[in-house]
């Protein structure tokens, strides 16, 4: 909840490739749906406290 390394965390999806051509609306809707699923599965009433959404990323180069 506070972004500390030893705090528990949920992983909302497996890795995905995002490019300059990715639709931000699709990504946002997907993450919102995953969050909704996790809230139902773990029986969270709400996320009324402050939480972090952390993206792990790595730049890759695809040579064609």
Look up the domain containing 24 and give its range. 1-64
Q: What is the 3-state secondary structure (H, E, C) of 21-43?
A: CCCHHHHHHHHHHHHHHHHHHCC
The total number of structural domains in the chain stands at 1
- Give per-residue pLDDT as tens, 5-61: 777 777 778 888 888 899 999 999 998 898 888 888 877 776 666 666 777 888 888
**Beta carbons within 8 Å of 35's beta carbon, 6+ residues apart:** 12
Token pair, residue 14, equals 């497996």
Beta carbons of 11 and 54 less than 8 angstroms apart: no
Q: Which residue has the tokens 């699709």?
A: 26
Beta carbons of 62 and 19 less than 8 angstroms apart: no
pTM of the model: 0.65
């Amino acid at each position: 909840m506070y972004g500390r390394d030893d705090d528990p965390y949920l992983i909302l999806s497996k890795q995905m490739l995002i490019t300059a051509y990715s639709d931000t609306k699709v990504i946002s809707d997907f993450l919102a749906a995953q969050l909704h699923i996790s809230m139902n599965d773990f029986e969270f009433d709400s996320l009324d406290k402050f939480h972090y959404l952390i993206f792990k990323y790595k730049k890759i180069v695809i040579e064609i």
